[in-house]
Structures are given as C-alpha cells and as structure tokens.
C-alpha cells in the first residue's frame, strides 16, 4: 500500500475513534455509556457503511430495542476491524448484495459517506427492508425527491437518527415538559451546535461539501428537527440563511460556519452551527437548545455546563414561580424500542415519516439558498 493510502486509512481510523469519543454531532458518550439491556431478539438487522463513528450509537439503539445484529458490510479494512472488535456477533458479509438479498434481514442501519446514504436507502427500501441512517440522511433536494418517491412506493421506513433529541436524555425530558405545558405555548427555539474540528482525524470527504452537503445540511439538520418538534410545526419556510469558510482557506470546498432564521406554523427559530469549539472546553461542543414559551423557558446544555456541573444532559426550567435544575440521568431513551416496534407493526411512532422528511428538506432548502459569505465580507 502507498504512503498516501496508509495515511488515508489512519485518518479514517482516527476519525472513527474521535467521533466515538467526542460525539461530534451526536451524544455518543451518552449512547456508549448506557447499558444495552437488549430485549430478546425481536428483529434481525444488518449494518452497511461505517464511515462515521455515529454507527456505534445507531447500532446500540437498535440492540437496546431488541434487534439482533446479524451481519455488516464495509469496504475499508480498518473500519471493518474496529467494528468486528466492538460487535463480534456480527458476520462480515461478502458484499452489500448479500445483505440486501437476505430475506431474513428486516432493517439496515448505515453511517456511510453522507452523499452515499440516500442511494443506499433507496436500494434498501426497494429490497423490502426498512432503513435507519445517520444524519444527514440526504444531501441534496434531488436525492430528497427520489427518497420520497421510493418511500411512498414501497411503504418502507426511512428513519434519520436525529440523535441530539432522540438519543439525548435532557432533550427528551424537555419534550415531555413542553407537551405537559410547563412553559405555556412555545414561541421560538434557539439552537446552537458548535463542534471541535480535530483536523488531523478527518478523512478527505469531510472537507468537501460535495460529499457532506454543506454545514447546514449536515450539522444543522439536528436543529431543524428539534425546531419542528418543540414548536409543533408541520410546515416551515426559510427566512434567511448564510454559510462561510472563515478559517480554513486550505480547504476551499469546506464550510465552518452557518446560521438560519426560519418560521413554521407553530413558531419561529434561529439556528447556528460552526466548527470553532476551542480545545479548552472539556467536550466536543457546548451544544445548547433554548425553548421559549409564553409562561417560561427551558434551556438544555447538552454536553457541558461551563458553570461547573460535570458531564452533559443539563436541563434548566424557568417558569413564573422558580428557576429549577432537572437531573435527567434516569430518563429512558425510547427511539430504538419504538423503531423496532414500527418495523414489526408497520406503525409510525419512533420518528414520524412526514416529520423526518420535513426536517431534512428544510435543512436542504436552507443550504441551497444560503448566502455564501467570503472571508473579507463586511
């Protein structure tokens, strides 16, 4: 193997380890620290594509829900070795087709290179299987139209794991409080998703929007899903969006900053995402969500409390009576179990399909219309 090929393999391996340890874009530390407590096998599932460390959290969610991990397929020897070590029960398939043509497999899970996810999901659905994919589950509006068409034809599940809500205990608890009326009627969400870049660990595709769709498509898809969920919006439009390569001129096809102003039929929202988390922070990013209501507000500090509390999943409730800190350590994550239920019962409970597609589509529209600011812009 050439030195260049060896370097690329090392970068991939470091990227997977980094994203597993730091949860870039996903609360992986929460996912991996929680016991699997798998139920007896209820469905059989396989994994195709290991290009992001989020695949471990995705796999664990299905295992917790009662899935039996049967097999997996990837092309990269280093990623194969890492996955085999973590999940020795899974057989390495000889090809993607071996999994797709196995009629006993009911669900396929993937964290492949982002622009390869929608085409894979289409193939999965056309083979009569359900699909659960890392965000962004789609990287262009053209892909979105194709996914919608095949999903409608096949009636299969195409679930994008927006883990910042679905696999985050504090955000899940915040949802319960909002539904119970704790802060009155929701007016707005303000959601920020800063990330640490760790450039030495990133594979080549990470630096090119052709592969990941752009910073709003990628990171901010989480924030769009949360906006829809907390405001109860079933429609939305982009008021303004912008992206910028502020500090990485050596990667001209990369975006390290983006923000969006949006509105829905249930409220308004502001989103900011970036790759500027300093090394002095104890975690990959100080992700925050503020939900503002007519009678109070909630703030979720997803990964860190710079005020002194250790760990993540910090939830604060301020209403007309008090300011309250809520411990979310015992909140149960239900996405994996509900997804397995949906696979078995042909229901739509884990992440309703219309909601899932709308969140991704809004992110894609915001990315497409975003004003591209230059380094010298005023």
Domain boundary (139, 162, 185) is at 162
Q: Which two tokens stand for residue 346?
A: 């042909």
pLDDT digits (tens, 9 = 90+) for 45-84: 999 999 999 999 999 999 999 999 999 999 999 999 999 9
Residues 46 and 150 in one domain: yes
By residue range, what is the domain housing residue 40? 3-162
Residue 267's pLDDT band, with cuts at 50, 70 and 90, is: very high
Domain boundary (162, 178, 211) is at 162
Residues 26 and 142 in one domain: yes
Q: Residue 3's pLDDT is what?
A: 52
CATH of the domain at 200: 3.30.360.10
Residue 310's pLDDT band, with cuts at 50, 70 and 90, is: confident
Averaged pLDDT, 251-255: 96
Q: Residue 25's pLDDT is what?
A: 38
Residues 198 and 263 in one domain: yes
Q: Residue 282's pLDDT is what?
A: 83
- Could you tell me the pTM of the whole model? 0.90
Instruction: Please provide residue 297's backbone torsions phi and psi, each rounded to the nearest 5 degrees.
Output: -150, 160
Q: Which two tokens stand for residue 214?
A: 């752009």
Q: Rounded CA gap, 375 and 378, in Å?
A: 9
Q: Residue 4's pLDDT is what?
A: 52
Residues 308 and 175 in one domain: yes
Q: Which two tokens stand for residue 253?
A: 């096809």
Q: Residue 312's pLDDT is what?
A: 84
CATH of the domain at 92: 3.40.50.720
Q: Residue 121's pLDDT is what?
A: 98
Averaged pLDDT, 230-249: 97
Sign of the four-CA dihedral 101, 102, 107, 108: negative
Q: Residue 320's pLDDT is what?
A: 97
Residues 283 and 312 in one domain: yes
pLDDT exceeds 60 at position 259: yes
Mean pLDDT of the chain: 91
Residues 60 and 154 in one domain: yes
Instruction: Please provide residue 196's backbone torsions phi and psi, each rounded to the nearest 5 degrees.
Output: -90, 135
Residues 195 and 278 in one domain: yes
Q: Residue 241's pLDDT is what?
A: 98
Residues 132 and 58 sit within 8 Å (Cβ to Cβ): yes
Residues 188 and 110 in one domain: no
* Number of domains forming the structure of the chain: 2
Q: Rounded CA gap, 220 and 355, in Å?
A: 15
Domain boundary (124, 147, 162) is at 162
Lowest-confidence pick of 31-45, 125-139, 334-348? 31-45
Q: Residue 34's pLDDT is what?
A: 45
Residues 251 and 265 in one domain: yes
pLDDT exceeds 50 at position 376: yes
Provide the pairing of β-strand 186-194 with 267-274. parallel
């Amino acid at each position: 193997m050439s030195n260049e090929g060896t370097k690329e393999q090392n970068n991939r391996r470091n990227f997977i380890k980094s994203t597993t340890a730091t949860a870039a874009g996903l609360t992986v530390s929460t996912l991996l620290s929680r016991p699997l407590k798998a139920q007896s096998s209820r469905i059989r599932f396989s994994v195709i594509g290991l290009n992001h460390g989020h695949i471990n959290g995705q796999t664990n969610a299905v295992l917790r829900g009662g899935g039996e991990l049967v097999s997996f397929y990837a092309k990269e020897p280093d990623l194969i070795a890492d996955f085999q070590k973590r999940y020795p029960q899974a057989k390495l398939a000889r090809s993607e087709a071996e999994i797709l043509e196995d009629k006993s497999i009911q669900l396929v899970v993937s964290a492949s290179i982002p622009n390869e996810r929608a085409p894979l999901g289409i193939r999965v659905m056309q083979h009569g299987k359900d699909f659960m994919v890392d965000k962004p589950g789609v990287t262009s509006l053209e892909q979105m139209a194709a996914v919608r068409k095949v999903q409608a034809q096949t009636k299969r599940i195409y679930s994008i794991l927006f883990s910042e809500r679905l696999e985050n205990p504090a955000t899940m608890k915040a949802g319960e409080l909002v539904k119970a009326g704790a802060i009155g009627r929701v007016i707005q969400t303000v959601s920020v998703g800063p990330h640490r870049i760790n450039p030495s660990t990133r594979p080549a595709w990470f630096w090119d929007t052709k592969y990941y769709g752009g910073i709003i498509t990628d990171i901010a898809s989480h924030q769009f899903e949360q906006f829809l969920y907390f405001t109860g919006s079933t429609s939305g439009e982009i008021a303004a969006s912008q992206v910028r390569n502020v500090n990485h001129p050596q990667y001209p096809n990369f975006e390290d900053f983006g923000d969006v102003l949006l509105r829905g039929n249930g409220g308004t929202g502001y989103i900011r995402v970036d790759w500027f988390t300093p090394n002095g922070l104890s975690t990959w990013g100080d992700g925050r969500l503020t939900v503002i209501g007519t009678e109070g507000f909630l703030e979720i500090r997803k990964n860190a409390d710079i005020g002194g509390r250790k760990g993540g999943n910090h939830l604060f409730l301020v209403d007309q009576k008090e300011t309250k800190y809520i411990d979310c350590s015992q909140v149960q994550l239900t996405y994996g179990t509900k997804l397995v239920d949906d696979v078995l019962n042909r229901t739509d409970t884990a992440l309703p399909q219309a909601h899932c597609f709308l969140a991704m589509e809004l992110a894609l529209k915001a990315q497409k219309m975003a004003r591209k600011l230059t380094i010298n812009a005023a």
